[in-house]
Structure 1
């Protein structure tokens, strides 16, 4: 069977889907821990498609399907980065929903022995201007909840702090306060404005060199409280330069969805671990690639992971913050959920040609456990858009 897929120019082209999945999906998953790298997948949430809700209402989550997807990631030996931007924090999932997600996922992680780290932010604050004291208190509330669940904390970049801070000194003060309070070492998260325009100028400067110096000051003042940093700037050179300046024992977790194979592989001076949204749809192949890397076979690692970059760059292309739509779309095609609906109605954020290309690239990589089922679902979406077969 063939499909007629729309191109960006509006024309239809014929595509013949593959018949079998890639070999790494043919065998049962191996929950053997990865040894050479710590790898966390930032996981999406599954919406409840039958809830009578609206984009401005609290998110309605299908908890069974959401937790099943986390078990899928753990079954391959990956860790889960919970309640991050991939889970639509600030784009459909409010703090009440995120708190429930953290509690449920942390309990599930304990039940199956999976690794979990959870996002700590300030998104319970209402829109508007807030004082630094209010920002600190919001961070503290979320940090306390994450630590109560036994999860590792990821201190996410805060829109409220970006708006309230007058300069680098305010960032140094707020983060020092939080790190002193943290019971265990945390991950610091630097999310670039391509992922969230409200974070432009984070660390007190729009100049990335100046911002980097402030970021490093935060870490240097409390290296015993920083497990690592997650860098999501889509700039491989800058990430490498930054990780080479980290204090001994502080890890760099790449969040670069454009250049992750080379950053994880590393060079003679070090490497990056991973905390990536793209490892939501790429979970099985990412785990297989790192297991190859565990044997010292860097070439084999790159041969598995390099071909996935074209898909990742497509999903994360500008406006990058809407990458979640492609991630959930692929989860539907792969059979991890029964529908293509998202909290906040975000399934409408990407065009049909964009989704068609995502399907084609993912199918070419063999990412669908059942290619025939994925083909049928892609066909049903084309029917909705009026594409004749």
Structure 2
């Protein structure tokens, strides 16, 4: 069987889908790396909502996908940008997601870390930013999950310089009950975060970031760096205090960063591990045996798909992630909160399908082919 797919120029070409998926093996928990997959939310397709309405979430399908990730040994990074925080999922929805997912994690013994931000606040003073962070931190800690202190649009807007970041983060770290993960999300993921840490100069911003960490190393489990700059992450990783982990958030260069070098390595907290979950888990188990070459052999071929999904405008990568979840059978529809399913083009979807199919990511290749053909037909492409 073949399928006709549009290319970037709008011409149709014939593609022959894969017949058999990969068959990743489950196994023991990871021993050499701590690995989180940031997870997407599944919208309720029957909710009568508009793009400006509060998110309507299909809780059963959303939690089922988290169980899928835990079953393969991955941790879940919850209520972060992959879950459309600030792009369809408001704080009320995120709080409910945190409570439900944390309870599910406790029920199945899964690892979970949840995003703490200030998205209930459009703008405000430094005191109001602190209070917003505190409200969210309390929700995460009460749920029993690890906290991820995410970058704040409101803080970026109100801060007058590095000293305001030092004050706010120092205040939060002093009161955190357990060590947290600090998340530096670059402007390619959220343009409103340009100049975070008080400077548009990344070297100066890095110095402020490290100053926050060095002042409270006992309260920082690790950092998640999402700047899509492998060398900058490596340089930052080498400057961390002992015991503070680096979790790569680089969806362009993750195999080499996780594999590491003679001076260290990165753990992982990645949105791309949402669609790559079983394959990523198998690769990390190979790495656990000390087989770096085998790890790279499995994971390196996935980079082309990741770079495609995360191409500019990078913040719309969530659309591709949910699209692949639909093709893989993890949800019954391709609808997103906030109507974000419209954020990528048909040629983009076609290439994502082709790359994912080539990697063997679809448990049922025939189902994926049928769903891709159904989508194509909506755009007037007859097979």
**What is the match of residue 283 of structure 2?**
289
What is the rounded CA distance, in whole Å, between the counterparts of 1:293 and 1:334 in structure 2? 26
**Aligned residue for 1:13?**
13
1:160 aligned residue: 154
* Counterpart in the other structure of 2:53: 57
Q: C-alpha distance in 1, partners of 2:206/2:272?
A: 25
Q: Does 1:114 align with 2:110?
A: yes
Q: Deviations over 1:298-342 (max 9, x none)?
A: 000000000000000000000000000000000000000000000
> Does residue 23 in structure 1 map to residue 20 in structure 2?
no
- Superposed, 1:284-323 pairs within 5 Å as 284-323=278-317
Partner of 2:274: 280
Map of 2:85 onto structure 1: 89
Q: Distance in 2 between matches of 1:23 and 1:46?
A: 25
Match of 1:133 among 127, 130, 154: 127
Aligned residues: 383
User: Aligned partners of 1:10, 1:77: CA distance in 2, in Å?
Assistant: 40
Pairwise CA distance, 1:388: 1.4
Shift of 1:85: 0.1
Q: Does 1:35 align with 2:31?
A: yes
Equivalent in the alignment of 1:72? 68
Tell me the residue number matched to 2:202: 208
State the alpha-carbon separation in 1 of the partners of residues 99 and 124 from structure 2: 27
Report the Cα distance in structure 1 between the residues aligned to 2:71 and 2:367, rounded to whole angstroms: 22
Q: Where does 1:162-177 land on structure 2 (aligned, <5 Å)?
A: 162-177=156-171
Pairwise CA distance, 1:33: 1.0
- Post-superposition CA distance 1:200-246 (Å, at most 9, x none): 00000001000000000000000000000000000000000000000
Aligned to 2:212: 218
Task: Quote the residue 1:143 is aligned against.
Answer: 137
In structure 2, what is the equivalent of residue 358 of structure 1?
Answer: 352
The 4+ residue runs of structure 1 with deviation greater than 4 A are: none
Aligned-pair distance for 1:23? Answer: 3.0
Once the 2 structures are TM-superposed, how far is the Cα of residue 191 of structure 1 from its aligned partner? 0.1
Partner SS, residue 163 of structure 2? helix
Q: Distance in 2 between matches of 1:378 and 1:7?
A: 14
What runs of 5+ residues in structure 1 fail to find an aligned partner?
Answer: none
Q: Where in structure 2 are the equivalents of 1:226-241 lying within 5 Å? A: 226-241=220-235
Matched, 1:45 2:47: no
Q: Partners in 2 of 1:360 and 1:206 — Cα distance?
A: 38
Counterpart-to-counterpart distance in 2, 1:18 and 1:241: 40
**What is the CA distance between 1:22 and its match in structure 2?**
1.2
| TM-score, normalising length: structure 1 | 0.98
Structure 1 distance, partners of 2:335, 2:315, is 17
